[in-house]
Structure 1
Amino acid sequence: MSNPSSPSSSAAQHQDPLHQQELAAGASDDAGIIVPGVAAGDDELSPPRCEWEFRLARTVPSTALPGASDAIGSVDFDPTGRLLATGGIARKIRMYNVTSLLDSSATASGAGPAACICVPAKLSSVRWRPCASVVGCGDYDGVVTEYDVERGVASWERDEHAGRRVWALDYAPGATMAASGSDDRTAHVWDPRAPSAGWTTARAGGAVLCVEFDPSGGPQLAVGSADRRAVVYDVRALGRGAVAWMDGHGRAVTYVRWAGAGAGAGRRVVTSAADGTHRLWEWGPGEELAREVRSYSGHASARSFVGMGVWRGAGLVASGSESNHVFVYDLRWAKPIWVHPFCGAHLPVSNVGGGGFVSAVAWRQGGDLHGGALVAGGSDGVLKMFTCQRRKAEEADGDH
């Protein structure tokens, strides 16, 4: 998916690197590169140690025919963490059994898709609906559609964005509300239990590229757009405007993710932009202008969506990169704690535009905070599943 970078032009006016880029094949089973901390005094926010051990559990190659694009644009774990859905250029929703992906003894065929649904348009976003075996999708034709996974058919659709691409879709906890962001510079909020009953609209100064409800159940919706700004709305009163503002990115805001509670009763959000940074923001009760707590850099993001996700329980941020690497940051430090070359074990991090990039990432939320799972999808259609385990204190101290 292309990455709009200025408030004066919409996403539709930009080239689509995922569609046009010559895609590279192949995958590496390298366990990853631990990025050492900078020498004392150079950067006080550099990680003193890597507290996590990451392992590649499974590589699922693309099944696309030669010359065909199979770029993955979105990945999402279902609420139970047992299923994974992917979507992208190939006009397919693929569902995977997570246990099979994590089982190193499983055969390659056993780790393939458990189900596949063909859809009529390229997909920008896939999102599981809470409390139901339903996947919602936003597509390039401006349509939001829900698919019944068990029957493999569409259960309903809404086409209310005037045919402009839907970049993002999200559900509130309990599926009491849904939201979509579009090239038409609006975010729509509606009740998925009665999708034709109407909706409310929040407007932005550019294409709305990302939306996410507060996962704790609060009435807040975070929205990021091509006008370089991220804002938070109270969905009970969208017409009154934003209740919090995050200004500071130099280019389009491509992802916005809630990061759990901050100090006191403060709220925290992580944003990602085409300026090559992720940023952590915090604001307290009664405050409208969020404070930038930290900026994270190292990955490359200037013209493509590279994915960004927050494992809220562990305080970790994952992202893709145009250098074709997976990056993991700890919210406490500005530098990455782990980097994995997605295609080829010896690619330098500076190898931008080398034939592919990591285009989507997601964490499996909940569960054991000492161990987790991270999935990443590439512009070449390759899917990789990683496990991470918190190291014992003496092991972490021994890294340096």
Structure 2
Amino acid sequence: MLNYEILCIIWYILIVILITGFMITDGLDMGVGILLFILGRKKIDRRIIINTIAPHWDGNQVWFITAAGAMFAAWPNVYATLFSSFYIIMFILLIFLFLRPIGFEYRTKLPNTIWETICDIFIAIGSIMPTIAIGTILGYILQGIPFYFDKYYHIYYNREILLPFSLFNFMIIITTILVVLNQAATFLQLRINDKNINNKLNIIIPMISMSLIFMIIITFTYIIFYIRGYKLNVLNIQAMHYLPLITSDIAYSEGFWINNFIKNTYLWIIPISSIINLLCLIVLSIYQKHILAFICSIYNIISIITTIAIAIFPFIVPSTYANYSLTIWNAASSRLTLSIMLYVALIFIPIILLYSYWCYKKMFFKITKQHIKKNPLNYY
């Protein structure tokens, strides 16, 4: 059986992988939903756009469910803290996620233009609102959440000192929206063969990518100079398995979220690679290298999420009551639980990856207006 501290680090990496998988796949779906009315002014155009993700949108949500389930088992305190602290936001997120299946599955049940437009609105709203919710939660996590535990480990959330919705929250939300839009736009280039839609994509992809580069730079700069980060000074890892932490072992000040990059300068290549990927994406998109452009978008998401994971490590959910902050050690389940889950994950995560690859490969073809018109009942 692996060392407990190593198991905690492995599960941190695995959950980061699951979150990355969610942003790559389900983020793609949400980006397509946001672009629906931007690219599809006509009914037939919207049908083309929707059917690019029709075979996969529900399967892609497995990543979200798996990540939440893994978090519940591996980090029960993190699961409880996030879902109780952001109860209203989570509730709103789920409500709008419920609209997406209605929009997809029922839009063609009634041959009525008004009904189809309503379903398209459900898809668009059910895509933009969860994206905003995810960005909001991430913004609050990076600023610290006002929670603490009593001696019985009951969680208390101090709503009286809830951080106001700030400029930083807005920046994180815009960045999150641009990330999913970039992923969706490059995917649509691969899947659509329609002159009108493709011409629009050729214009908006460089715009989205340049906007994302700008937002990444100013957001990272804002984190360095204006956001109070956390730094762990403890040398005895065993002490990290207990709550609350010793206050003197935690430093809390501006610029500390880049402490891991300062200590390990080679890690700077990860955030820098995000910018490089986006610049390459713009060039590849202009020269019609759509597959490579889409790969660059995927690597961009991997770079961004990895940058965040490295920045906050070993913290998972920092608290404004600093010594109650949750780290990968004091939030983890037992050694036995993590070990059993690891064996399960090593079996099923490759299966999910292979199955997802097989589905995308088998159902990959360019959609045209002719496909929709010849088989109106076989498409959304």
TM over 0.5: no
Q: Give the number of the structure whose residues are more often strand, by fraction.
A: 1
Name the TM tier (shorter chain).
under 0.3
Structure with greater Cα Rg: 2
